[in-house]
């Protein structure tokens, strides 16, 4: 559906259309969450069928993440050149191709290649989906709409856990169907992208102001659209649009904050549960069958889902900073408690699960959606895609490091030592947010950008 061909918008805009656009873009988050989490249950059967060593198991789990780094590297640059919507379409195709290749793999190299393709799709989509939603959404509910992408991610995680558990009854080869089923939402995502517009800010950068105005009017009403389009044009005209701008005073601080938050979001250790939850229950708690270990992760996914709903409800009311500080503080205590629980030879399964649920809930309320919202808000329009790529590359590199080292770190330092390190990283995240992260709640993207050049005006609300 061409924006220019849309019917005349009312003066108030269409909330239904706005949420439809955000929902389609957030479908990439569903695929993101599913592809990230499906390995959790599949890895028990995959390890046995492909006869993987510990190092090979870490490689199988992290092959997707290597692709994420590449996708994040090129996604922003491609979107600045060809548009957010076109690159999201390419991601949808790669999601489907990855599902087919991983499901048909006969050995570790073939499996790794299939997952690497999916990682490229995730890396690009993780940059572009929140960016696209932020550029379409009005300031008053931008946080809630961008957080929809996080809601979609945790929905994908929950769906993956449920699918893993249901298919686990089918026996050792069930891991192939666990990966293959992702082709269904990939096809739906591609179809939906034909019915959403291009980003209005990107359209204005490319001189297509009439198309941009049509999109803004349909979303925000005609009068608000005129004002917003004029503000975007003024901002774009004043921007150099070079990557070097990010390293100049003002925006250099924004880049440092974004990269630090992206890294700390991952090395707080939440993804040890996401990728290795089933193995943790089998090897450290002990005694359970693969099916029961996978079912424990369904409970983790359900709590993750419920807590993200809470985040959606409060992120535009309480703000980004309070949620990030609460999240990192509770996680610091939770990861330390988890490490202490593993000092026992056979820690109670109920205790380990309860602590995991607390950590998961606190992450989902703050660090999960809050970091993605901030990354989508704090950079200038013309270089937002490339700037988001730098931050997201840092995020995926940290995630890869965590995933590649967890089993080895647990063996070298014990699970207690590993989780003590993750607890310390949560403390660092708390201190970073407390000392240097500004509040962006209720500010337009253009206002946020101007504030970096006038730090005294960047008040923490």
- In 3D space, the residue among 303, 367, 364 whose CA is nearest the CA of residue 158 turns out to be 303
CA dihedral 308, 309, 311, 315 (to 10 degrees): 140
Instruction: Please give the backbone phi and psi of residue 368, each rounded to the nearest 5 degrees, phi first.
Output: -60, -70
Q: Please provide the DSSP assignment of 252-298 as one string.
A: HHHHHHHHHHHHHHHHTTHHHHHHHHHHHIIIII----HHHHHHHHH
Q: How far is CA 297 from CA 64, 194, 348, 355, 360, in A?
A: 20, 35, 16, 13, 11
CA distance 165 to 293: 9
Neighbours of 188 (CB within 10 A): 15
Whole-number Å distance between alpha carbons of 344 and 348: 9
pLDDT in the model for residue 13: 64
Separation of alpha carbons 1 and 195, rounded Å:
5
Task: State how far the Cα of 217 lies from the Cα of 339, in Å rounded to an integer.
Answer: 53
CA dist 2 and 196 (Å) reads: 8
Are 94 and 121 within 8 A, CB to CB? Answer: yes
Name the CA dihedral angle for 369, 160, 84, 87, rounded to a multiple of 10 degrees: 150
Report the distance separating Cα 132 and Cα 385, nearest Å: 9
Q: Of 434, 411, 343, 388, which Cα lies nearest the Cα of 124?
A: 388
| Residue 310 φ/ψ, nearest 5 degrees | -60, -45
247 DSSP assignment: G
| pLDDT value, residue 11 | 61
Q: What is the DSSP track for 12-81?
A: T--HHHHHHHHHHHHHHHHHHHHHHHHHHHHHHHHHHHTT--HHHHHHHHHHHHHHHHHHHHHHHHHHHH
What is the rounded distance in angstroms from the CA atom of residue 106 to the CA atom of residue 384?
Answer: 40
Q: Name all domains of the chain by residue range, CATH numbers in brackets.
A: 3-457 (1.20.1250.20)
Alpha carbon distance 430, 220 (integer Å): 36
pTM summary value: 0.77
Q: What is the DSSP string of 369-422?
A: HHHHHHHHHSS-STTHHHHHHHHHHHHHHHHHHHHHHHHHHHHHHHHHHHHHHH
For residues 184 and 96, what is the distance between their CA atoms, to the nearest angstrom? 8
For residue 386, which phi and psi values (nearest 5 degrees)?
-70, -35
How far apart are the C-alpha atoms of 169 and 302, rounded to whole Å?
20
Which ranges of the chain have pLDDT less than 50?
Answer: 1-9, 459-461
DSSP string, 128-157: HHHHHHHHHS-GGGHHHHHHHHHHHHHHHH
- Return the structure tokens found at 127: 């940059």
Cα distance from N-terminal residue to C-terminal residue, the chain:
39
What's the rounded Cα separation, in Å, for the pair 336 and 439? 28
Alpha carbon distance 181, 40 (integer Å): 15
């Amino acid at each position: 559906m061409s924006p220019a061909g849309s019917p005349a918008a009312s003066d108030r805009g269409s909330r239904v259309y706005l949420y439809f656009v955000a929902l389609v873009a957030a479908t990439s988050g569903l695929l993101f969450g599913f592809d990230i989490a499906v390995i959790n249950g599949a890895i028990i059967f995959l390890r046995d069928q492909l006869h993987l060593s510990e190092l090979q198991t870490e490689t199988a789990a992290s092959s997707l993440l290597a692709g994420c780094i590449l996708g994040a590297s090129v996604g922003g640059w491609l979107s600045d050149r060809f548009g957010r919507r076109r690159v999201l379409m390419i991601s949808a195709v790669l999601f489907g191709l990855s599902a087919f290749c991983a499901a048909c793999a006969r050995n570790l190299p073939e499996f790794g290649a299939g997952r690497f393709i999916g990682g490229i799709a995730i890396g690009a989509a993780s940059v572009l989906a929140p960016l696209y939603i932020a550029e379409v959404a009005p300031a008053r509910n931008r946080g809630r709409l961008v957080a929809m992408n996080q809601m979609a991610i945790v929905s994908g995680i929950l769906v993956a856990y449920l699918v893993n558990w249901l298919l686990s009854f089918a026996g050792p080869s069930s891991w192939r169907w666990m990966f293959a089923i992702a082709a269904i939402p990939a096809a739906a995502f591609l179809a939906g992208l034909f019915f959403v517009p291009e980003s209005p800010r990107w359209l204005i950068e490319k001189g297509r102001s009439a198309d941009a105005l049509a999109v803004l009017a349909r979303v925000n009403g005609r009068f608000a659209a005129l004002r917003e389009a004029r503000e975007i044009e003024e901002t774009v005209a004043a921007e150099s649009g070079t990557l070097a701008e990010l390293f100049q005073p003002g925006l250099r601080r924004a880049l440092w904050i974004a990269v630090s938050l992206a890294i700390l979001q991952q090395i707080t250790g939440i993804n040890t549960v996401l990728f290795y939850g089933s193995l943790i229950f089998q090897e450290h708690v002990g005694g359970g069958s693969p099916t029961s270990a996978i079912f424990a992760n369904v409970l983790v996914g359900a709590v993750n889902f419920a807590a993200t709903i809470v985040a959606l409800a409060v992120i535009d009311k309480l703000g980004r900073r309070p949620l990030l500080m609460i999240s990192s503080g509770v996680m610091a205590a939770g990861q330390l408690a988890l490490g202490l629980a593993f000092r026992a030879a056979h820690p109670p399964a109920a205790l380990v699960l309860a602590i995991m649920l607390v950590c998961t809930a606190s992450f989902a309320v703050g660090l999960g959606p809050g970091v993605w919202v901030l990354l989508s808000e704090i950079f200038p329009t013309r270089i937002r895609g490339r700037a988001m790529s730098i931050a997201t590359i840092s995020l995926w590199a940290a995630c890869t490091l965590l995933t590649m080292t967890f089993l080895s770190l647990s063996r070298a330092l014990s699970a207690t030592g590993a989780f003590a390190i993750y607890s310390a990283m949560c403390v660092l995240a708390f201190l970073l947010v407390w000392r240097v992260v500004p509040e962006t709640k209720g500010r337009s993207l253009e206002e946020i950008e101007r504030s970096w050049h006038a730090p005294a005006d960047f008040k923490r609300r």
